[in-house]
Amino acid sequence: MKAALFRLGLQAYEPVLNLQRKWFEEAMQQRSQGQAPANRLIMVEHKPVYTFGKHAQQGNMLASPEMLQKLGADVFEIERGGDVTFHGPGQLVVYPMFDLELLNMGVKRFVEALEQSIMDCVALFGIKAGVVQGRTGVWVEAGSPSERKIAAIGIRCSRHYAMHGLALNVHTDLNWFSHIVPCGIADRGVTGISEEAGRGVSIKEAEEAMLQCLQAYFPFNFVEQDLILNS
């Protein structure tokens, strides 16, 4: 099985969102015509942005739009599940636009595979992480009073095809999270690979590790392709 791999570097959020939406609609049309949709994997680092999922509570945004604008951050309401989260420099964002029918996966298994991929990835940096019942994502010291979130997951799935994905903190400025209640969870903190590993970890290192770990659960031959985004 083949999937196209797009390493987009540092990008504003909106062009990548529009690209996903375009490809998602194409996939829905292919499904309606009895065709198998294309499989694509996007790996990107975003400029500062806060995104609200379809079940987000507005009260979980602690700063005013004016304050966020002064800080240089955008705000988007999008169609993924989950609450409010932050994307920004130093964070690896991965969008697996996969045909779950081809993979013989339901949504639950898909999310579990993403979580396990992240756990395997951070383990390569000496970090033990796990999941917390009832809370999507991946956590360090999971289940303890000091648990802290290292990666968030929020997806949209329709007709067994997925968009949106995961965000893994690598060397993110965690102060950005002080303006929100991350994922609507007020009593837990956030962390990153560099904080937990005790050394600076680059996006490139994390990207290579994440790709390796994803392939264990999503057995695609990832074929790298160039792409110029429309801003």
Neighbour-count burial of 133, counting CB atoms closer than 10 A to its CB (0-12 exposed, 13-18 middle, 19+ buried): exposed
Mean pLDDT of 162-180: 91
Query: Confidence class of residue 145 from pLDDT cuts 50, 70 and 90?
Result: confident
Residue 229 belongs to a domain:
no
Residue 81 belongs to a domain:
yes
pLDDT at 79 over 90: no
Residue 126 belongs to a domain:
yes
Which of 121, 157, 183, 213 is labelled catalytic?
183
> 12-51, pLDDT tens digit by residue?
999 999 999 999 999 999 999 999 999 999 999 999 998 8
Percent of the chain residues past pLDDT 90, beyond the cut: 69
Mean pLDDT of 73-91: 83
Residue 185 belongs to a domain:
yes
Q: Identify the domain containing residue 85 by its residue range.
A: 2-221
User: β-pairing, 135-140 with 161-169?
Assistant: unpaired
Residue 137 belongs to a domain:
yes
pLDDT at 204 over 60: yes
Percent of the chain residues past pLDDT 70, beyond the cut: 91
Residue 47 belongs to a domain:
yes
Residue 215 belongs to a domain:
yes
Model-level pTM?
0.92
CATH value at residue 187: 3.30.930.10
User: β-pairing, 91-97 with 84-87?
Assistant: unpaired
Residue 39 belongs to a domain:
yes
Whether 183 is a known active-site residue: answer yes
Host H or E run for residue 204: helix 203-217
pLDDT at 186 over 60: no
Return the pLDDT at 51.
85
Nearest to 68 by CA among 45, 51, 89, 49: 49
E strand residue ranges, the chain: 2-11, 40-46, 49-52, 74-77, 84-87, 91-97, 129-132, 135-140, 148-158, 161-169, 189-190, 221-224
Mean pLDDT of 102-115: 96
**What number of H helices and E strands is found in the chain?**
5, 12
User: β-pairing, 84-87 with 221-224?
Assistant: unpaired
Mean pLDDT of the residues in the chain: 90
- Amino acid 123 reads A
How far is CA 122 from each of CA 125, 131, 140, 192, 195, rounded to the nearest angstrom? 5, 13, 10, 10, 12
Q: Say how many domains are in the chain.
A: 1
